[in-house]
Amino acid sequence: MQIKSGWIAEAKKVNSPNFEDRPLNTSIDLVVIHCISLPPGEFGTKNIDDFFLNKLDISKHEYFKEISGLKVSSHFLIERTGNLKQFVSIDKKAWHAGVSSFKNRENCNDFSIGIELEGTDDSVYEKNQYNTLIKLVISLMRKYPNITKERVVGHSEIAPKRKTDPGIKFDWDYIKSKI
């Protein structure tokens, strides 16, 4: 995959307003893998896009009332089909990690790239998703040499008391063997 001015050329570009500048002199050296589905357990909707664009119609599902008003984003979303969307330039700070810490460094959003997989904490991910994820992570590792296999982590690792994603069925061994 080719990176041009902070954007992956092969990704569908969907501009989220939920981002900000990274702190000055911040080295990008972490990839955080998440999972999301809206409503929980339903795939193939456009609700994730709407959520990251602050356009989620809360009348569509009771769960949406719980998350209304949240302003979040991720750099990337990999849909069940393997399609890749990019919401925030990798040069900018997306709002994906929340309260987080990695190796005694707080505020992981400052120095990480967030990748959402369409799924749940207990769903099996699709081969197409893994294929896209591998290509994306390899491209990010080439651009940012400080991102190593050990610095590709789950949301659960940087926020263990709050988060469990990408979940128990995410195949870490497979991913780590391919990147």
DSSP conformation letters of the chain: --EETTEETTSEE---S-EEEPPTTPPP-EEEEEEE-SSTT--S-SHHHHHHTT---GGG-HHHHHHTT-----SEEE-TT--EEE-S-TTEEES-S-S-EETTEE-GGGTEEEEEEES-TTSPPPHHHHHHHHHHHHHHHHH-TT--GGGEEEHHHHSTTT--TT-TT--HHHHHHH-
The per-residue pLDDT for 157 is 96
Active site annotation includes 116: yes
**Domain housing 170:** 3-178
pLDDT band per the 50, 70, 90 thresholds, residue 87: very high
- Residue 122 — pLDDT band, cuts 50, 70, 90? very high
Q: In the chain, how many domains are there?
A: 1
Catalytic pick among 79, 116, 118, 126: 116
Output the pLDDT for position 44.
95
Mean pLDDT computed over 107-132: 97
> Residue 171 is part of a domain; what is its CATH number?
3.40.80.10
